[in-house]
Amino acid sequence: MKLTVFATTDVHGAIYPYDYFTDTDKNSSLLHIKSYIDWYKQENPEEIVLTVDNGDILQGGVWNDYDYEHRAGSMLVPKIINDLYDIIGIGNHEFNFGLDYLYTVYKEIEPVIINANVDFKDHPLKKRVLPYEILEKETSSGIIKIGFLSVVPTQIMKWDAFHLEGRLTVADMRKTVEETAAEMKAAGADMTILLSHSGLSKNPDHLRKYGENQTLLMTMVKNIDGIIFGHTHEFFPDADFEVEIGTIDFRKGTINDKPMVQPGVYASHLGMLTFEIEKKDGSWNSLDRTACLIDTREIPLTQELKNKYEPDHQKVREFLSQPIGKIEAVWHTYFSRLFPSKAVQVVAEAGKAYTEKLIQSGELESQPVLGFNAAIKAGRDGPDDFTVLEAGEVTLSEAINLYKHANSMVIIKINGATLKEWLEWSASQFNSPDETDILLKPNRSRDGFPSYNYDTFFDLDYVFDITQPPKYDSTAKLINNSSRLVEVRYRGKAVEDEEVFIVPANSYRVAYTPFLRNAEILHESQLNVRDIVIEYIKDSPDFVLSDPMTILPRGRYKISTATKAKDYITEDQQIKHLEEKGDGFSWYEINLD
């Protein structure tokens, strides 16, 4: 008897094979995955075939944005979920829109929804989300009971504190898995599959209690027969996966003899767990277990399926095509971690304009306002993971591309000392001058520094000396008693520790960052940051591009960014394309003299 479990994770709304930001067809999507699974079931009628999702499917794509704006009974993503899955778990981004919206979506979803480590207290989600599910499947040897459980990082209480604080609690993942798997075994589960919305890491900070990426610990838990994991947007099995611990068999896709898959992001891959099982002496046993990834680009898309979802696709296109303003020159984020970028700065300017209106109305006290932002899309998920707006009309689609997250606007008051720590964190994105790449990799799970944690303050002038060790890691954890910040000035004057500033921030940054958690919150907006940006662009703003940062020592450095970036180098930029790396990225020389 053969059991096959197909799995997705971190789909982030990549439903239809279309890039809505470039208006081009794509050769990967959730519809490709459904085409393959439908074909597989038809070709293998004797197998038990189940399909699961490991979370982060309800946020991150334009289909999700459409659903949020049309949540009164005409949502689109629940349709494909109902067509495809048997079980779905919960990811951290499912909480971005708040619990009430999540419940609204889940009422439209038919598959069983599971999570074992979140206690929703008295919210209706308490009854809608089960701690685990045991599916019973009839075979020629009798019924087999296949159990599924799901966990999510406890860090959701930081990332979405403004939605979740006081409304739910989250238990440690590893402990929850141990206890729940034992409970499922006692309830009769013959096999148990874990949906772990958590990455695979050796970092001690992740492996201790309440760590973020604990999946390695899950491989050591009794009563777990297979693992689907995610969250970090990486791939497993993959010989390039930088983990050397336990017993790893990349050919079979196992760690500590447990088959495991992490199928990337945006439906780029489909995970597949395969079990050869038999019933002997009244018990089900696994004779062989393997895991593999299927590249979605190699899957033929069923035209009938594409036609079925074509009307929904057109609804999304119509929704996104609304013109909201104009820009005079191209905006992009290809070099935004080193050079000024209007695609990044516009969010800061929108936040400042929103804040200054509140000051003018008397709702906020009059204090200096500092705008900041980070590049959300700057290469973390591949060479196409950048924001590009061509000159001319700006549509709603392009505005969403500037700021894709559902974070709300939170205005805080900080002093100069806190501001300096904030800048030290940003300075920590740089390697030492003798490294090949001046920038740490834009990933998040190992030793990188994701662009969305690198903030630029456009109303300041500051100098970083990168010969000094970084003070923080990418999560804002203190790692050295060092300082890269040489000086910081506001309107020409050195910033003093006791000075007071108002900062239009976002809910993620305020809740996530350790040195901001005690900041005084002056205003919590009912609007999210993206809505504020859209309204700002509608007013056709004309702001001056700011270049606040100086790097020491001066000189020429190398960085890696998309090969396409060479077409966007302007004459006034000291940037030279050196060579292609062969993966859609290239090396560039940056002159910082």
CATH class (in words) of the domain with range 2-317: alpha beta
10 Å Cβ neighbour count for 381? 18
Residues 411 and 355: beta-carbon distance below 8 Å = yes
The Cα 459–Cα 348 span in angstroms is: 10
For the stretch 274-324, pLDDT in tens is 999 999 888 998 889 999 999 999 999 999 999 999 999 999 999 999 999
> In Å, how far are 323, 335, 376, 569 from 563, measured between CA atoms?
29, 12, 19, 11
Q: Are 105 and 71 in contact (CB under 8 A)?
A: yes
Exposed / middle / buried, residue 290 (Cβ in 10 Å: 0-12, 13-18, 19+): middle
Strand arrangement, sheet containing 549-552: 493-494, 485-490, 460-465, 549-552
* pLDDT score for 246: 64
Separation CA 469–CA 480 (nearest Å) = 7
| Nearest partner of 13 among 3, 5, 21, 2, judged by Cα | 21
Give the pLDDT confidence score for residue 205 in this predicted structure.
Answer: 79
Count of H helices and E strands in the chain? 16, 34
What's at 136, amino acid-wise? E
The contacts of residue 208 (CB under 8 Å, 6+ apart) are: none
For helices 303-320 and 77-84, angle between their N-to-C axes, nearest 10 degrees: 160
What pLDDT, on the 0 to 100 scale, is given for residue 219?
93
Domain ranges of the chain: 2-317, 323-591
Answer whether 134's CB lies under 8 Å from 188's CB: yes
Amino acid letter for position 265? V
Decide if 356 contacts 346 (C-beta within 8 A): no
Quick check: helix, strand or coil at residue 337?
coil
Q: How far apart are CA 64 and CA 405, in angstroms?
A: 11
Neighbour count for residue 593 (Cβ, 10 Å): 7
Q: Judging by beta carbons within 10 Å of its beta carbon (0-12, 13-18, 19+), is residue 503 exposed, middle or buried?
A: buried
Instruction: Tell me the Ramachandran region of residue 487: left when phi exceeds 0, alpha when psi lies from -120 to 50, beta otherwise.
Output: beta
389 strand-pairing partners: 331
pLDDT-flagged residues of the chain (< 50): none
In this prediction, residue 244 carries a pLDDT of: 61
pLDDT at 4: 98
Residues in the chain: 593
Torsion over CA: 161, 162, 166, 167 (sign) = negative
CA-closest candidate to residue 88, choices 181, 153, 143, 10: 10
Assess contact for 428 and 482: CB atoms under 8 A.
no
Q: Under a CB-based contact definition with an 8 Å cutoff, are residues 292 and 253 in contact?
A: yes
With beta carbons less than 8 A apart as the criterion, state whether 94 and 231 touch.
no
- With a CB cutoff of 8 Å and minimum separation 6, the contacts of 357 are none
Q: Which of 93, 53, 81 is nearest to 229 (CA)?
A: 53
Integer Cα distance of 108 and 70 in angstroms = 13
Q: What is the pLDDT of residue 23?
A: 86
Q: Measured in Å, how far apart are the chain's first and last C-alpha atoms?
A: 67
The neighbour count for residue 300, using CB atoms within 10 Å, is: 9
- Which helix (H) or strand (E) segment holds residue 138: the answer is strand 132-139
Which DSSP category does 378 fall into?
Answer: B
**What is the structure's pLDDT at 407?**
85
* Nearest of 277, 354, 271, 360 to residue 525 by alpha carbon: 354
pLDDT tens by residue, 491-533: 999 999 999 999 999 988 998 898 998 899 999 887 889 889 9
Handedness of CA 585, 21, 268, 508 (dihedral sign): positive
CATH 3.40.462.40 fits 323-591, yes or no: no
The reported pLDDT for the residue numbered 239 is 67
Q: What angle do CA 452, 457, 461 make, to 5 degrees?
A: 140
Q: Give the phi and the psi of residue 256 in degrees, each rounded to 5.
A: 50, 40
